[in-house]
Amino acid sequence: MKKYRILCFGDSLTWGFDPDKRTRIDEDERWTGALQNLLGEGYKIIEEGQNGRTIATDDPAEGEKNGLKYIIPCIESQNPLDLMILMLGGNDLKRKFSYASMDIAGEMQIFLEKVQAYNRFRMNDHMKILLVSPPIIGENAENSWLADCFDFKNCVKVSSELADWYKQLADMYGCYFLDAAKVAEVSPSDGVHFDAENHMKLAKAIYELLVKEGIVK
C-alpha cells in the first residue's frame, strides 16, 4: 500500500531532546512518534530533527546547523513527499545571533521561498507545507543550564512575536499554520525543550489540524 509521506523538519524540539535527562525522548513519546501512532498505518512520518539547527544562519561554534543549506538535499533524499511539517526558529534566538523577531521571520521567508520554488518546479507543487511557529522560549527558566546560550528575558519577548510573523508567511506562501505556543509549553527545567507530556499535546494539535483541513482522514 502506498503511504502518505510526511517530512518533519526541525531542531531539537523535533529531534526530541529531553529537558531533564538531556538524552533523547523515546520514539513513541516524541511528537513525531505520537503523530505517527495517531495517523496509523497509511502514513509514514520521516523525522529530520537536528539539535541546534537554525533556519538559515551558519553557526561556526557548532558546525553544520544551517537548515537552509540542507533542506533541498533532504527533500531530494526523502522524495516522494506529500507534506512537510516545518518548525524552526528556536535556535535563532541564541545570544550570539541577537536576532529580533523580524530578522527570524526574514530568514523563514528566504527558507520558504527556496522550498516552494523547488516544490513548484521539481515536484509539480505536490508537497503541502504546515508551518509551525515555535513555543515561547525561556519562561520560568531563570536557573536553566542553557542561560549562557539564551537571554531568556529577551527570548520570551521575541519568541512570543514569532507567531504573527509566521502566520503572515504561511498566508503568503500557501502554507497551513499552527502556533505551537497555544498548545504546548517548554519545560521549566531548561526553558527550551518539551517534556513528553507537551510532545503529546503538540502531536494531538497537529493531528487535529490535519484532519480539520482535510489533509488526512
Dist CA 168 CA 105 (whole Å): 9
Give me the sheet containing 128-133, strands edge to edge.
43-49, 4-10, 83-87, 128-133, 176-179
- Residues 6+ away with beta carbon under 8 Å from 201: 183, 184
At 149-198, the pLDDT tens digits run 999 999 999 999 999 999 999 999 999 999 999 999 999 999 999 999 99
- Residues 6+ away with beta carbon under 8 Å from 35: 6, 8, 45, 203, 206, 207
At 184-193, the pLDDT tens digits run 999 999 999 9
Q: Considering the domain 4-212 in this protein, what is its CATH number?
A: 3.40.50.1110
At 122-139, the pLDDT tens digits run 999 999 999 999 999 998
| In the predicted structure, residue 143 carries a pLDDT above the cut 90 | no
Per-domain residue ranges for the chain? 4-212
Model-level pTM greater than 0.75? yes
